[in-house]
Amino acid sequence: MKTMNKKALFFLINTPFWIATLAFVYSIGLDRYYNDPMFSDDLTFMVSYSFVMLLIVLVPFYLFYSLLVPEYLFTGKKKRFFWLGTAWVLLCGPLLIGILGEVNHYLLTGESMMKMFFQFPSELPFIYLLWVVTSLTPAFLGGISRLAYASFSNIEKTRELENRNLQQEIQMIKSKLNPHLFFNTLNNIDTLIRTDPDKASATLARLSDLLRYVVYHTDSENIPISTEVENLERYIELEKIRLQKPENVSFSTNVFNETKIPPMIFFPFVENGFKHSNLNLPDQSLQIDLLQDDNKISFKCVNTIAEKQTINKSGGVGLELTTKRLEMLFSQKHKLDINRNDNQFSVLLEIYT
């Protein structure tokens, strides 16, 4: 989605809330201005009282809209979101209301609002309940608004994905795997047939399995992560056959369930690592890590860059297409950092489950 569309969607979601909030807050202020015998015709009180009410409404709304929902609910940290939300509604929200009300009342009258409350202790539970509801309502609206924003954003991204579907399919076919891998592997197998027939047979079986995966599984929308890991291992082992120093390549993985992911989502990063390193040299390396926990999948690929290699910060067209694919598939449920520092290129991808 384009930046302008995001701004338009933000205002579309937030403008009705602002209109309703201003109407509600200043209607209460005007009501007290005209009808409260203590502050009747006191314009200063009306303005300050309305401003305090505005803060009481806006703070929880944007706390949930801008922080708690995107940072915790969208990233799978639901328990932490629940406890933080509960703490706000039952403790922090009422405390904020009490402090703002006390400061405003004292500045206007020179008297403590709390002292007045404690003169009628039977009213304290009702006052606390009122403050809890006042804390909960804008917080709930902020959460719902953020969910609506995310939902509309996903609809727009889905439309964009559908419009570009044919182009993406063509690009995926072209970038599934480097064809040089197959040519090099076949040449290596031809050599191994004469020197090590058993290894040649195992390599041919590995190549066959990888081809089967490319032909039959990459058309699926999602596959088990274990299937992706198995074929990454096959790909890496095939690439290592041509290396004089295969120990320069390391691949560690720890996945423990059958989370579904799009096929070949990690392959372009690994292929890029092999492409831009001269792994036959002792000072060159490629390190790949794929880990999983309860909330996310973490993929890290770090490779040294061979001399005379030219590679921009984004990694070239292949990785740019992969970045767009991730954005369309996972929207706000992923984080991708691609960096080049001196002679090292690194990719860190987190997918929230």
Taking CA 256 as the corner, what is the angle to CA 226 and CA 345, rounded to the nearest 5 degrees?
A: 65
List of residues 6+ apart from 130 with CB closer than 8 A:
none
Q: How many residues does the chain have?
A: 353
Q: What is the pLDDT of residue 233?
A: 92
Q: What does the pLDDT average to over 311-325?
A: 65
Q: What is the pLDDT of residue 81?
A: 92
Q: From CA 58, how far away is CA 74, in angstroms rounded?
A: 21
**Of 265, 270, 315, which Cα lies nearest the Cα of 288?**
270
Q: From CA 231, how far away is CA 118, in angstroms rounded?
A: 70
Q: What does the pLDDT average to over 278-286?
A: 87
User: For 197-226, what is each residue's pLDDT tens digit?
Assistant: 888 888 888 888 888 887 777 777 788 999
Q: What is the pLDDT of residue 114?
A: 72
Q: What is the pLDDT of residue 1?
A: 41
User: For 78-128, what is each residue's pLDDT tens digit?
Assistant: 899 999 999 999 999 899 888 888 887 777 776 777 776 667 777 788 888
Domain ranges of the chain: 3-163, 168-352
Question: The pTM is what?
Answer: 0.57
Give pairs for 329-337: CB < 8 Å, separation 24+: 329/262, 329/265, 331/150, 331/153, 331/154, 331/157, 332/70, 332/74, 332/150, 332/153, 333/74, 333/75
CATH code of the domain made up of 168-352? 3.30.565.10
Q: What is the pLDDT of residue 117?
A: 66
Q: From CA 98, how far away is CA 295, in angstroms rounded?
A: 37
Most confident listed range (156-160, 212-216, 283-287): 283-287
Alpha helices (H) in 64-195, listed in sequence order: 78-87, 93-109, 113-118, 124-163, 165-175, 179-195
Q: From CA 343, how far away is CA 5, in angstroms rounded?
A: 38
